[in-house]
Structure 1
């Protein structure tokens, strides 16, 4: 998480203390996590007391000058600089309204992570580890009540298994059908397909603290060695596209007309020989065996990349790591060789993609950062008008191409599938489906099956889409995204 977002998160957690007031704290059990029975009588709310938090100045590095709870339904932010992406950031679920008493009683860990307590249309009642999570309608929800009284999250890493369950009628919706399953779903009158725009990026990362990746010309050579079109044509579903840059076309900050290095394995091999990398270079391709919209077939993509590198004389060993360990190792800059990773939009702005990965507060997955990229991103993030911001992102995208911290490969087309009788079914471009809006033909329970089990359920602690989708059923922010898109409403 970038420094700016970390500071914003800290302030939003304090905002939870200012405006919080939800359900009573929950208890914990061993392998399951359950909400206790609600108290028969809620404690009366005290009178509203205005609260102001203000910084002496903006030298602390964040973007808030002050924050004020004006009344029970109004909060006022005074920023240190213009931030046109601020509404999108505040709508992101990491900045959900928190129950002050619950935050204080849990101490910010343990129970809080397993049993979220928020202001959303559902409340979590039981988490059967390795099996399912059960949510029930929040009868105290401030808005329209959830249509289905019960919501169940299940998971399977196998796209074929998810489709079989949907065809059998044991689930109402599934995430990320396999690339070969789109046509099957469209041809089945009992099913419906909802596609997402490719607001994501799959890339092949390199860490410049490990030789020979500390040589910019070597990184450029590897960029020429990868046939990205071949990967998209063979292993991605309809709606996918070859990436010309890190930014997806549908997100602000994309540079129209920018091109990536042409596929030229002969030139790549020549440069690697000139730089003393070839002959005899051995390396690795490390990844986690987890399906994502940006990477629907991780294993076969890794094998194809291995074969492409072999074509220029590079021997690459494939290394598969457990998901959490892999992400931690990548963030700490510990992966020597290539690593396969990607990113999906949390909110639709360049800051979510570029600042997070290439800004001064980014992780160490690419090694040492690039100050010229930092400067461009700083300028782009603090201009109030889109036409003033875009030239700085054009510059940042061109500098990323020059420095090649990673090789952008694909914007993955993806989607979700549902039973044909589910009304209001849709797939969110940013993976933020609101299941409270979907009607499973009058059935009392809506069952959703996704790729994996959430590592946690407290939105502020999570960056994984599987976790965010689950916690977003329980927690809501000050602002919201329009269903199906990333537009702020």
Structure 2
């Protein structure tokens, strides 16, 4: 069974616009109804495994940065809670031109940003123009979701080199925004729901130096908008971030355009250790937490807590960077790494019930999954033979992995790394372990600077399209993988530009086959279902396959 609803109908533009116009009348009624009619007021304290990097969505790269942003901001399009199905947000309707290079958005009227200024078509255009014109390499390097989706900036200064997909934005009236693209992309309209493409107050962006971002070594620092003054239209407003206590405090937005948040205050407490999060729940100091250890699910249930399991919608992989170590440019060596990994044992021993061995860089719930692909078998003798054939029987690699974090696709990074390290050792590969705290620059080391040979990372889909996975990973030369093969980039681009649903899926199926047979830029490991746990008196939290939980529906009894 495929658990996420397919979005092929997105491409039927006329029917889509009519359907969404009808849905829009509910003012997010679907989510509110699912949230229940529990008590209002009070404070909800939720334990999270990592700190946000900043509070400006365009510079967000990971789930812990997206989590508070999703409560404070809105996008033009959103996803119906608990699904990957599109739903209205700040736009009531969206309609493409015949060639899919122009999107017209009919906007919700009467919406205010948290600073009291108006949300309108001019604000939409201000945001889009800001993104495409990010002024320096540091800002562009951190805007990876925009860069991956729109492929470039007006003046490319980081890793993006292409012509921007975004062409222009027009505001013929306050309730109509028209986005023009330089080419069609099958990712739209779903990609317009990316949290990175949230609407910020133009006044606040200008007042608080939103584009002030600097890089020093591998670290990035942000201006006051991203650190102290995030200003969206969402159901919660920013109050404070105590970096010493690792506490983010949000408060209800009384002027929210939709269903108001049920709790007065929402607090995210950063507790990196999963066992510590469990102890805080048991002590009553938090009301719930994310990513309980799979080994604890049954005991938590038997103790009266509610364990909410998300549908599988992610991928874990062992990445291979071809830039630094010449041996890794040889596909025989990359194949040897794949044959050396015992994925069946990894899934059985390190991942939760419901996890599966990955055959490719997509979960099977996404259109474009090639069902004919089989997992690369565990064959250490074959791995040794390939290494010998390549003259790399004494291969040494620097293997980076994150610490002090739990990810939806990676419950315990250290344990997973240890298992992989032993697999590689058994075929004669020397592994130099490089642990790095998730909030101590791990993502910057991997995705911005590419200082590693191997690494552990993964991806939870932002929307139901193969390009969100394959385009993000392999659509262009990126520091994470160090690939320079233009034929691969062109193949991914051609698939992304195919807007016919059947052709779009078929093109990505072939990309998957070729990635595994011709390129093998990483080793797909697994897809698994992450969970959330809350106290019995907490209702209305709806688990999302996209890990896109919205807390405005949540009540404390």
Q: TM-score range by the shorter chain?
A: 0.7 to 0.9
| Shift of residue 348, structure 1, vs aligned partner | 2.4
**Equivalent residue runs for 1:46-85 within 5 Å:** 61-85=163-187
1:406-455 deviation line (CA, Å, top 9, x unaligned): 101011221101112222122221121111101111xxxxxxxxxxxxxx
2:331 pairs with 1:216: yes
In structure 1, what is the Cα distance between the partners aligned to 2:119 and 2:493?
43
1:290-321 deviation line (CA, Å, top 9, x unaligned): 21011111111111111111211222122111
Q: Secondary structure at the match of 1:212?
A: helix
Q: Secondary structure at the match of 2:353?
A: coil
In structure 2, what is the Cα distance between the partners aligned to 1:192 and 1:170?
16
Seen in structure 2, the aligned counterparts of structure 1 residues 73 and 264 have a Cα distance that, compared at 3 Å, is same
Tell me the equivalent position of 1:378: 493
The one of 256, 281, 287 aligned to 2:395:
281
2:114 pairs with 1:23: yes
Seen in structure 2, the aligned counterparts of structure 1 residues 156 and 282 have a Cα distance that, compared at 3 Å, is same
Seen in structure 2, the aligned counterparts of structure 1 residues 23 and 342 have a Cα distance that, compared at 3 Å, is same
Is the 1:192–1:417 contact (alpha carbons within 8 Å) kept by the matching residues of 2? Answer: yes
Is the 1:21–1:98 contact (alpha carbons within 8 Å) kept by the matching residues of 2? Answer: no
2:225 pairs with 1:117: no
**Equivalent residue runs for 1:102-251 within 5 Å:** 102-108=204-210, 109=212, 110-114=223-227, 115-131=229-245, 132-189=247-304, 191-209=305-323, 210-251=325-366
Is the 1:203–1:406 contact (alpha carbons within 8 Å) kept by the matching residues of 2? Answer: yes
The one of 97, 102, 107 aligned to 2:199:
97
In structure 1, what is the Cα distance between the partners aligned to 2:540 and 2:429?
50
| Shift of residue 22, structure 1, vs aligned partner | 2.1
Consecutive unaligned residues in structure 1, runs of 5 or more: 25-41, 442-489
Name the stretch that deviates more: 345-354 or 385-394: 345-354
The one of 439, 442, 458 aligned to 2:555:
439
In structure 2, what is the Cα distance between the partners aligned to 1:47 and 1:430?
28
| Shift of residue 258, structure 1, vs aligned partner | 1.2
Q: Secondary structure at the match of 1:341?
A: strand
Tell me the equivalent position of 1:452: none
In structure 1, what is the Cα distance between the partners aligned to 2:270 and 2:123?
44
Tell me the TM-score normalised to structure 2 length: 0.68
For the aligned residue pairs, the C-alpha RMSD in angstroms reads 3.1
| Shift of residue 226, structure 1, vs aligned partner | 0.6
Tell me the equivalent position of 1:420: 536
In structure 2, what is the Cα distance between the partners aligned to 1:46 and 1:246?
38
Name the stretch that deviates more: 78-87 or 267-276: 78-87
Is the 1:63–1:81 contact (alpha carbons within 8 Å) kept by the matching residues of 2? Answer: yes
1:67-110 deviation line (CA, Å, top 9, x unaligned): 22233333223333333422221111111112111111112142
Equivalent pairs, count: 408
Is the 1:224–1:267 contact (alpha carbons within 8 Å) kept by the matching residues of 2? Answer: yes
Is the 2:170–2:178 contact (alpha carbons within 8 Å) kept by the matching residues of 1? Answer: yes
Seen in structure 2, the aligned counterparts of structure 1 residues 251 and 125 have a Cα distance that, compared at 3 Å, is same
In structure 1, what is the Cα distance between the partners aligned to 2:546 and 2:307?
17
**Equivalent residue runs for 1:26-41 within 5 Å:** none
Is the 1:333–1:367 contact (alpha carbons within 8 Å) kept by the matching residues of 2? Answer: no
Q: Secondary structure at the match of 2:491?
A: helix
Q: Secondary structure at the match of 1:135?
A: strand
Q: Secondary structure at the match of 1:86?
A: coil
